[in-house]
Structure 1
Amino acid sequence: MTAQEAPHPLPLALLRGPGEGERIDVAGVEHFFRLTAEHTAGRFAFEEFTLAPGIVGARPHVHHGHDEYFYVLEGELTLHNGEGEVTAGPGALLAAVRGTPHGFRNAGSRTARALCLYTPAGYEGYFREVHRAVAAGAEVTDELLAEFRSRYRTTSVDRR
């Protein structure tokens, strides 16, 4: 299929200026969604996120409906891959495809900043729901995260 034959083509002007996007702070992670399902007809979502030293970005989990690709811009991310951990610095590109256990944290001494591509889009709704719950006074617990994840075809991984 050529680009001319692609169904529902996206406009070529799908560009956002600096600072444009949706900011969602969840449990110490600053998510800055530059593009969401609403902008890409559900094809993908694209975010920049920031983690201070010592912050857990995501407890171990498995996505059953989308893939995630991480690109580290600054600092280091320590990624759990279901069997162990790997530390990735600037320029590293990592994939968490459907069915792959993963999680990440900033075990370093500097703030970490990375990009994440979600395909297809939709998981940004998870962050919106957790943010709303926390803003309403809920405590971030494994049970709370598991409840919201289940709405997005994602399961938590037992860390025992």
Structure 2
Amino acid sequence: MNVNNSNNLSHSSNDDDKSFQQFDLDGIDFNIVLSGNKTGGKYSLLELHFSTEKENEVPLHLHSRETLVIYILEGNFSFKYGNEKIDGNQGTLLKFEKDIPHSYRKTGKTPGRLLILFFPAGFENFFLDLGLNQSKMKQSREEDQVLLHVLEKKYGGKFVFG
């Protein structure tokens, strides 16, 4: 797992403001547009940027606390949601309920951007913890797996391998 934390993108001098931070996770840029500390914990908003270079994928996972609303801003995507396969392009709006495994892949050679609303808020901090921990030291693959397991427990998420 390759994570680069670009905390210098913050647009606020307030250390408690977790908005406008960007993290690169295996070639997908995760931008925290609006954090839960600005919404009273009701929701958070992330924007994901997928490169044109390859068909990046967020692997199959689930959230035990949050429902997601995903809006395709740009590009073509293929989603797995439970047993369904859903293809979408610009303007597609999807709602993924908690506890149902899902994944998404940008398809084709064009850029891709997703806007993801998490409600309630809190999961945006997964990226903060992952990015901050990864930026402090270069970890081995085994240490990455341990960190992911700790963060899964902390944030109620789970990657589904199999």
What CA deviation, in whole Å up to 9, does each residue of 1:50-107 have, x standing for no partner?
A: 0123212x21111111111100011112212232532210000011111111011213
Alignment equivalent of 2:148, drawn from 110, 129, 145: 145
Q: Which has more radius of gyration?
A: 1
The offset of 1:142, in angstroms, is 5.7
What CA deviation, in whole Å up to 9, does each residue of 1:115-140 have, x standing for no partner?
A: 11010100011111221233221356
Aligned residue pairs total 140
What's 1:98 paired with?
98
Gaps of 5+ in 2: 1-11, 13-18
Structural mapping, 1:64-79, within 5 Å: 64-79=64-79
Q: TM-score, normalised by structure 2?
A: 0.76
C-alpha contact 1:43 1:119 (8 A) present in aligned 2: yes
Structural mapping, 1:129-140, within 5 Å: 129-135=129-135, 136-138=137-139
Gaps of 5+ in 1: 1-15
* Amino acid in structure 2 at the alignment position of 1:76: N
The offset of 1:143, in angstroms, is 5.6
Equivalent residue of 2:107, what SS?
A: coil
Q: TM-score, normalised by structure 1?
A: 0.77
In the alignment, the residues of structure 1 paired with residue 98 and residue 72 of structure 2 have an alpha-carbon distance, to the nearest angstrom, of 20
Q: Which has the higher helix share?
A: 2
Q: Which has the higher strand share?
A: 2
Point out the more displaced range, 138-147 or 90-99.
Answer: 138-147
In the alignment, the residues of structure 1 paired with residue 140 and residue 27 of structure 2 have an alpha-carbon distance, to the nearest angstrom, of 13
In the alignment, the residues of structure 1 paired with residue 127 and residue 62 of structure 2 have an alpha-carbon distance, to the nearest angstrom, of 16
C-alpha contact 2:46 2:124 (8 A) present in aligned 1: no
Q: 1:85 to 1:21 in 2, by over 3 A?
A: same
Equivalent residue of 1:42, what SS?
A: coil
What's 2:49 paired with?
50
% identity of equivalent residues: 23
